[in-house]
């Protein structure tokens, strides 16, 4: 402030005066020179300890698919590499095969089709994002190419007729090399339709995700799964979850298994679809602390790293998601974190991040 005042005085217009004669002071004798005391230098302010830098977000090393018999890495290796031995059509609204393998595991094979040209890519993209976010209850999925002739040769005998085969061949989109690209998705051996999308079921479980409402201890793991599902579906813009048949889980009903993502990642996302998935996100006021922490660390680099998958997986040959789809995920991430942050500001972190 003093410097500013001096500058104003120096620059302000004042009446002209005759310059005073310069007077050169005589120097004092050395022995009479007054000592100048140096002011002690101010101690630098103590720097706040910097928070340790977090390593880049990466796939968890030990992620086990419920109920926990196999890791995701073991399942991915089996469904991506093990030779096939039989194909059985099982789709009701799209082309899907149960692909039996020469291993203890089985896969669903969702090929590229006229109905869902990019459906197989969306399935793999959704899984890789889920794995990056440590969602152990999303079935492993990977890209796989199968020669069309091999499917014909190994077709289940019940469907081994020319009429069925012609219908299948008309639906699928084969590469020039005769290979049929698709998504190999873990076939869950023991699964039940929990029918949690029904109104009476929703009246039961929605209070578990509402602040201030009790959560039965026996339902706590299921409540966490539901909360993570709603947030994940918002991230990937999956509007189809509550349409029926997409709320399956373990046979004892203790865990939810989050699958079927071939209509996710619409870009541009229609306003009415965004309103639908955002409305469902707001069913949840309680969230998993570990999940939200990983969402906070999910930047563009981490997302692109997730979409590349792991070493040894078959090359996709085309991007799983385009630039607009990636931008959509990151924008919905921002909205999700803003929503959770507002709840924390009002109700406190312990109440909102109620699940591990």
- Say which residue, 39 or 23, is predicted with more confidence: 39
Higher pLDDT, 232 or 62: 232
Angle at 209 between CA 306 and CA 202, to 5 degrees: 100
Q: What is the pLDDT confidence band of residue 46, given thresholds at 50, 70 and 90?
A: low
**DSSP label at residue 79:** H
Q: What does the pLDDT look like over 161-184, one tens digit per residue?
A: 999 999 999 999 999 999 999 999
Lowest-confidence pick of 5-9, 54-58, 101-105, 197-201? 5-9
Is residue 218 a contact partner of residue 95, using CB atoms and an 8 Å limit?
Answer: no
Chain center to CA of 106: 26
**Helices and strands, number each (H, E), in the chain:** 12, 10
Distance from chain centroid for Cα 140:
14
* Single pTM value for the model: 0.84
pLDDT score at 344: 98
User: For the chain, what are the domain ranges?
Assistant: 64-352
Is-contact 69 149, C-beta < 8 A? no
| 213-239 as b/e: b if 16+ CB within 10 A | eebeeebebbbbbbbbbbbbbbbbbbb
Compute the average pLDDT of residues 284-304. 98
Question: Distance (Å, rounded) from C-alpha 353 to C-alpha 292?
Answer: 8
52, pLDDT greater than 80: no
Mean pLDDT of 194-207: 97
Residue 227 CA to residue 208 CA, distance in Å, equals 9
pLDDT of 283 reads 98
Max Cα–Cα distance, the chain, nearest Å: 120
Q: Considering only CA atoms, which of 116, 163, 105, 174 is closest in space to residue 139? A: 105
| Averaged pLDDT for residues 131-150 | 97
* Closest by CA position to 185, among listed 303, 286, 65: 65
Per-residue pLDDT band for 48 (boundaries 50, 70, 90) equals: low
Please determine, for residue 12, whether its predicted confidence score (pLDDT) is greater than 80.
no
């Amino acid at each position: 402030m003093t410097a500013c005042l001096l500058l104003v005085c120096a620059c302000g217009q004042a009446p002209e005066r005759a310059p005073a004669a310069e007077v050169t002071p005589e120097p004092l004798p050395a022995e009479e020179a007054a000592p100048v005391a140096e002011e002690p230098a101010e101690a630098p302010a103590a720097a706040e300890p910097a928070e340790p830098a977090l390593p880049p977000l990466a796939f968890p090393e030990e992620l086990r698919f419920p109920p926990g018999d196999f890791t995701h890495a073991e399942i991915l290796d089996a469904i991506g590499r093990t030779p096939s031995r039989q194909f059985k059509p099982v789709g009701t609204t799209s082309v899907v095969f149960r692909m039996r393998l020469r291993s203890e595991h089985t896969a669903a094979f969702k090929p590229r089709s006229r109905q869902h040209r990019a459906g197989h890519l969306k399935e793999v993209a959704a899984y890789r994002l889920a794995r990056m976010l440590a969602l152990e209850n999303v079935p492993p999925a990977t890209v796989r190419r199968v020669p069309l002739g091999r499917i014909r040769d190994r077709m289940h005998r019940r469907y081994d007729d020319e009429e069925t085969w012609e219908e299948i061949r008309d639906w699928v989109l084969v590469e020039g090399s005769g290979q049929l690209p698709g998504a190999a998705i873990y076939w869950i051996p023991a699964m039940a339709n929990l029918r949690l999308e029904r109104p009476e079921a929703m009246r039961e479980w929605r209070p578990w995700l509402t602040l201030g409402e009790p959560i039965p201890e026996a339902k706590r793991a299921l409540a966490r799964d539901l909360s993570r599902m709603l947030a994940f579906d918002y991230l990937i813009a999956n509007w189809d979850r509550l349409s029926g048949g997409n709320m399956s889980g373990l046979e004892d009903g203790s865990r939810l298994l989050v699958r079927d993502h071939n209509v996710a990642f619409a870009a541009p996302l229609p306003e009415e679809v965004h309103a639908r998935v955002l409305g469902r996100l707001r069913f949840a006021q309680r969230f998993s602390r570990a999940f939200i922490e990983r969402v906070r660390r999910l930047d563009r680099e981490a997302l692109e790293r997730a979409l590349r998958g792991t070493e040894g997986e078959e090359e996709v040959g085309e991007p799983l998601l385009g630039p607009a789809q990636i931008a959509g995920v990151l924008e919905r991430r921002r909205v999700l974190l803003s929503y959770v942050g507002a709840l924390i500001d009002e109700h406190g972190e312990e109440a909102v991040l109620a699940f591990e």
